Structure 1
Amino acid sequence: MRKAREVKAREVLVIGGSRYFGKRLIARLLAAGDRVTVLNRGSSAPPPGAVHLVADRDDEKSLTAALGSRTFDAVVDQVCYTPRQAAIARRVFAGRTRRYVLTSTVEVYEYEDSIAPVRETDVDPAAVPVDLGLPWDDPEFLDTHYGEGKRQAEAVFTAGPGFPFTAVRVAHVLGGDDDFTGRVEHYASRIRAGTPIAVPVVNHPATYIHVEEIADFLFWAVGQDFTGPVNAASHGLLTTEELCAEIAAHHPDGRTVLRPVEVGEVSPFSFARAYGMDNSRATRLGFRFTHARQWLPKAVAETLGKDGG
């Protein structure tokens, strides 16, 4: 009888990951038999089976002390938002990991406006200027410069040789009963009340991904060896109207009123520019995406706490 080949458990560190698709990623890693270490500031404990390290990632000495002599097959960084954080992580993890996976965002394309889906090469992190002197520690500044913070973080990790790094540029995430963003409820509350939903005069569709699918993607990416940025998005574009229609199906007594505005704040998931992501690189590398319209009814039902699709 042929002996089954023994698969070596991987040593994987997840920085952050206490909620939404981060906790789903950790569950997948543990289920696969990987040895998982979770590092955070102590705000939440990881699930049973994971090692817990407590450190402030913004404090290089604290981070280095918490890690001790540990090395990893892969690090998944869920909470790197600034080039300062990236610079610390690059110094600390140089020589400690075979692979570094940064959870980045579609918002790195915030300066794009292209009818054609944007490719990874449209934002080359090697060409992005880094300014460590900006007020990255100011929460208000960081909130309004989220995409720029991720762009510059990617640039820091990319600079120089010898750091095996990939940036997963995540599309807008939908689904799950633990969506903490409140974006779907933004629409649901207005549809229930029949109050206007502010959208741009020219409102472009966008790319999305289900919360379970991005957890699958990150799990898959841990075991790959490609480097550089990669777009992670389900096939197809979704419009604000399509999202509203699915939400309205759960509120038959409500009314959807889209109000185009030329200036001022607009609703989430409404976009004055076109920058839907091209996912062909990830597809060529071997990941199989679903189509957004297939899972949209389920995603809305989950988030609204409904039973049906």
Structure 2
Amino acid sequence: MKVLVLGGTRFFGKHLVDSLISKGHEVTIATRGKAKDNFGDKVDRIIIERTNSDSLKETIGKHYYDVVCDNIAYCSNDVKALLDSLKCGRYVMTSSASVYENQHLLTSENEFEPLSHDLKWCSREDYRYAEVKRQAESALFQEYPKLQAVAVRLPYVIGEDDYTNRLYFYVEQIINGNPMNLDNINEQIGFINSAEAGEFLAWVAEQKFVGPINGNNIGTISLKEIIDYVEHKTKIKAIYSSEGLEGSYNGQESFSLDIDRASNLGYCFTELNTWIYELLDKYINRANSAL
């Protein structure tokens, strides 16, 4: 298949492109031309301005793609600018668990229905992140009902290549001896590995189903379990203080995403505990090397 990827030069986007290439697809990555990649001659490249519909029509609008994988659709205007400018057979949008207003363990897809959400044409700055992602999904499914489209809802994505450093924050503060102010140490949180997120998106690109779908590694973990592991491995005790640095995941209550829909369609997620401790080991080595 001819696949166009927007947002394929870093984090799970790179894993998506690698997976598509390994499956034998003809991949084009569309970027602003500012980020380098290591794909060599394995991909074609197009420089675009994502929010400029004229730019989109003059570049990707000249071609037909079997699938478009869009990792950078943040709002309804993003969706409209893109889908009004190109022709494709299938559109896979990376969405977020943030679309769910009442997150809890095993949150299912039917707990946010984009077809009934009040659609507002908006830019990324108009609302908080959760609402602009809801608007992106609402625009997709309400305005383009004939398009074979999927919204892939992901929890926190983590990995060695996680530029947000949200999980690394806890490891770094423990090793550096910095006090932390944490308000949810016992909450159970769901994650997905960045490599698996990319593989899942590539798998979705090859399927025929439409609508929202959750992706989540099997199982959850608490910050206490994470901190206990780091303390055990480093022999350094975490310091807690109301005056300390605010935790990256502060305010997050226990939650994970129900993956029955993906499982029933044939995708098998790995268990969280098979890789997260190895990731923490790498974070520990990274923090020690930075001292």
Q: 2:163 aligns with which of 180, 196, 202?
A: 180
Kindly state the Cα deviation for residue 269 of structure 1 after the two structures are TM-superposed: 3.1
Tell me which amino acid in the other structure corresponds to 1:117: L
1:50 aligns with 2:43: yes
Out of 270-279 and 42-51, give the one that drifted further: 270-279
* Equivalent position amino acid for 2:79 in 1: A
| Aligned partner (choices 218, 221, 227) of residue 204 of structure 2 | 221
Tell me the CA shift for residue 266 of structure 1.
4.2
Given the superposition, is the C-alpha separation of residues 258 and 285 from structure 1 closer, same or farther in structure 2, using an over 3 Å criterion? farther
Q: Look up the equivalent residue of 2:99 and give its one-letter code.
A: V
1:99 alignment partner, SS class? strand
> What residue in structure 2 maps to residue 124 of structure 1?
113
Quote the offset at 1:203 in angstroms.
Answer: 4.8
Q: Choose from 297, 301, 306 the match for 2:277.
A: 297
Pick one of 45, 65, 68 that aligns with 1:72: 65
1: distance between equivalents of 2:154 and 2:263?
14
Distance of 1:185 and 1:273 partners within structure 2:
19
Secondary structure of 2:182's counterpart equals strand
Counterpart position of 2:181: 198
Mapped partners of 2:195, 2:13: distance in 1: 10
Conservation of the 8 A alpha-carbon contact between 2:19 and 2:202: yes
How many angstroms does 1:265 deviate by? Answer: 8.4
Note if contact 1:172-1:209 (Cα within 8 Å) is conserved in structure 2: yes
Between the aligned partners of 2:283 and 2:159, the Cα distance in structure 1 is 6
Cα 1:44–1:129 change in 2 (3 A) is: same
1:112 maps to which residue?
Answer: 102
Tell me if the contact between 2:152 and 2:214 (Cα under 8 Å) persists in the aligned partners.
yes
Q: How large is the RMSD of aligned CA atoms in angstroms?
A: 2.3
Q: Which residue of 2 aligns with 1:84?
A: 77
- Segments of structure 2 that go 5 or more residues without pairing to the other structure are 287-291
Kindly indicate whether the alpha-carbon contact (under 8 Å) linking 1:105 and 1:171 is maintained by their aligned counterparts in 2.
Answer: yes
1:272/1:42 Cα in 2 relative to 1: closer, same or farther (>3 Å)? closer
Q: Deviations over 1:190-209 (max 9, x none)?
A: 21234332222685211111
Query: Is the CA contact 1:175–1:298 (under 8 Å) kept in the aligned structure 2?
Result: no
Aligned partner of 2:219 in structure 1 is 236
The 8 Å contact of residues 184 and 250 in structure 2, kept in 1 or not, is answered as: no
Separation (CA, whole Å) in 2 of partners of 1:292 and 1:120? 20
The equivalent residue for 1:17 is 8
TM-score of the pair, normalised by structure 2: 0.89
- Relative to structure 1, the CA distance from residue 258 to residue 98 in structure 2 (aligned partners, 3 Å threshold; closer, same or farther) is farther
| CA gap 1:162/1:113 in 2 versus in 1, 3 angstroms | closer
Matched residue, 1:162:
146
Letter paired with 1:166: V
Paired residue type of 1:155 = S
Distance 2:88 2:228 in 1: 46
Q: 1:267 to 1:292 in 2, by over 3 A?
A: same
Q: Compare 196-205 and 145-154 and name the one that shifted more.
A: 196-205
Residue 38 of structure 1 aligns to a residue in which SS?
strand
In structure 2, how many angstroms separate the alpha carbons of the residues matched to 1:281 and 1:106?
15
Q: CA deviation at 1:53?
A: 0.4
Aligned-partner Cα distance in 1 for 2:280–2:130: 25
Contact conserved, 2:217 with 2:271, CA < 8 A, in 1?
Answer: yes
Provide the secondary structure at the position in 2 that maps to 1:126. coil
The answer to whether the Cα contact below 8 Å between 1:56 and 1:63 also exists between their aligned partners in 2 is yes
Please tell me whether the aligned partners of residues 200 and 260 of structure 1 are also in contact (alpha carbons under 8 angstroms).
no
- SS in structure 1 opposite 2:45? strand
Shift of the 226–305 alpha-carbon distance from structure 1 to 2, 3 Å rule, reads farther
Q: Letter of the aligned partner of 1:123 in structure 2?
A: F
Counterpart selection for 2:247 from 267, 270, 273: 267
Could you state the TM-score of these two structures normalised by the residue count of structure 1?
A: 0.84
Task: Describe the SS at the equivalent of 2:88.
Answer: coil
Please tell me the residue identity of whatever aligns with 2:181: A
Q: Give the C-alpha shift of residue 213 in structure 1.
A: 1.2
Does residue 255 of structure 1 match 2:248? no
1:5-44 matches, within 5 Å, as 10-44=1-35
